Amino acid sequence: MDTLQKTLHNFNAGPSILPKEVFQEASEAILNFNGTGLSILEIGHRTKLFEPVVAEATALMKELMNLDSDHEVLFLHGGASTQFFQVPANLLNQGQKASYTDTGVWGAKAIKEAKLYGIVEVVCSSKASNYTYLPKEFTTDPNSVYLHLTSNNTIYGTQWHDFTPFYNAGVPLVADMSSDILSRQLDFNKFDLIYAGAQKNIGAAGVNVVVVNKNILGKVNRPLPTMMDYRNHIEAGSMLNTPPVFAIYLCMLTLRWLKAYGGVKAIEEVNNRKAALLYQTIDASPLYKGTVATEDRSKMNACFAMEDAVLEKEFLQLCENEGMVGVKGHRSVGGFRVSLYNALPYESVVALTDLMKDFAQRKG
Ligand SMILES: Cc1ncc(COP(=O)(O)O)c(C=O)c1O
């Protein structure tokens, strides 16, 4: 494992790189969890062995996000896509309106699901430009039950940097933060509901994290299946049924790592340096061109392309030869997508940008 991590640079968009200390400890726990002689995979969830894991993961989320006592943290099944319908099911009555921003495929999927539950008003959309920028001029109906946004658009490489239009909307905010949660300092208490698939910055696939202001719950009049109602999960401490035990354990380890790193403030500093180095390299050569509006560039997923498809292919092959994994762009955008999640070391960006500079020099 160590050898692999030394020679490979993992820019996958998700599931994606996690700290190598997490892989090490998790692999030990599969064989012998905390010296018990049992694998983490064979212990009951309602036991003295596992209960501290979910408690610590929950406490670490609260601490790292600086959450107030109104905000609850839940570890739920189903990935972020489940939240596309669980959110409106819990918040939006039939006949009521929710406002949505359409800034990428994930936001569009959230819109589609919300329409099953109530009236959806799309307040802005950059779909016509294949989501290459963030539409910032919009107004929100003050009667909207909530305003939904995607903080980072993983496929296209755009990210909201200024939340003023949202903070000024005057309605509860719901954010899909799947691909940039815990990567930068934000006042998370300004959001009434945040959800994120864990498989980028929090841990492994198989669990999603929901942060919810409990005061917004209990206002819909539809009957909710037990597993659908956030209040039941809050009451059960994320253990309403058998939770994804191993995935939550990986979250706990990753959150411990982030705390030891210095928390969100410290990781934001290195995330800024990684993104700056990559974008400077893109901008320094006419061979590369960024694919989204400069002011909206994501610090988590950097997308760029070349004019010449043959050269793109050659560069991708070079990346593969040099152990650079996951550099190919999403099929709907093409070109390249380099994901710079929390666990990606600065050195990986140095290695990639050195390769890019060398390639540009040879082809320029
Ligand atoms: C921003 C965003 N939202 C939602 C999803 C869907 O997540 P999941 O596959 O966990 O349902 C993704 C997946 O990459 C994503 O990047």
DSSP for residue 78: S
Cβ atoms within 10 A of the Cβ of 354, count? 12
Pick from 260, 252, 259, 256: nearest CA to 57? 252
222 Cα to the center of ligand 1, angstroms: 27
Could you read off the pLDDT of 136-194 as tens digits, one per residue? 999 999 999 999 999 999 999 999 999 999 999 999 999 999 999 999 999 999 999 99
CATH architecture of 263-363: Alpha-Beta Complex (3.90)
Give Cβ neighbours of residue 234 (< 8 Å, ≥ 6 apart).
72, 74, 212, 214, 217
Six token digits for residue 349 = 């960006």
Distance from the CA of 85 to the center of ligand 1, in angstroms? 13
- Residue 11 is which amino acid? F
Q: How much distance in Å is there from the Cα of 330 to the middle of ligand 1? A: 13
The sheet with strand 71-76 has its strands ordered as 71-76, 208-213, 193-197, 173-176, 147-150, 97-102, 119-125
**Local structure of residue 326 (DSSP, 8 states):** S
Pocket of ligand 1 (CB under 6 A): 14, 79-81, 106, 150, 154, 176, 178-179, 197
Structure tokens of 69? Answer: 């006592």
Identity of the amino acid at 122: V
Task: Tell me if the pTM is above 0.95.
Answer: yes
Could you tell me which CATH number the domain at 23-261 has? 3.40.640.10
One pLDDT digit (tens) per residue for the chain, 364 residues: 454 444 799 999 999 999 999 999 999 999 999 999 999 999 999 999 999 999 999 999 999 999 999 999 999 999 999 999 999 999 999 999 999 999 999 999 999 999 999 999 999 999 999 999 999 999 999 999 999 999 999 999 999 999 999 999 999 999 999 999 999 999 999 999 999 999 999 999 999 999 999 999 999 999 999 999 999 999 999 999 999 999 999 999 999 999 999 999 999 999 999 999 999 999 999 999 999 999 999 999 999 999 899 999 999 999 999 999 999 999 999 999 999 999 999 999 999 999 999 999 999 7
- Catalytic residues, by residue number, are 106, 176, 200
DSSP 40: G
Closest ligand 1 atom, CA of 155? 16
Give domain limits for the chain: 23-261, 263-363
In angstroms, the CA 238 to CA 227 distance is 11
Q: Which ligand 1 atom sits nearest the alpha carbon of residue 199? A: 10
Q: Write the residue with the smallest CA distance to atom 16 of ligand 1.
A: 154
- At residue 325, φ and ψ (nearest 5 deg) are -100, 140
Ligand 1: centre distance to CA 36 (Å): 35
pLDDT digits (tens, 9 = 90+) for 4-30: 444 799 999 999 999 999 999 999 999
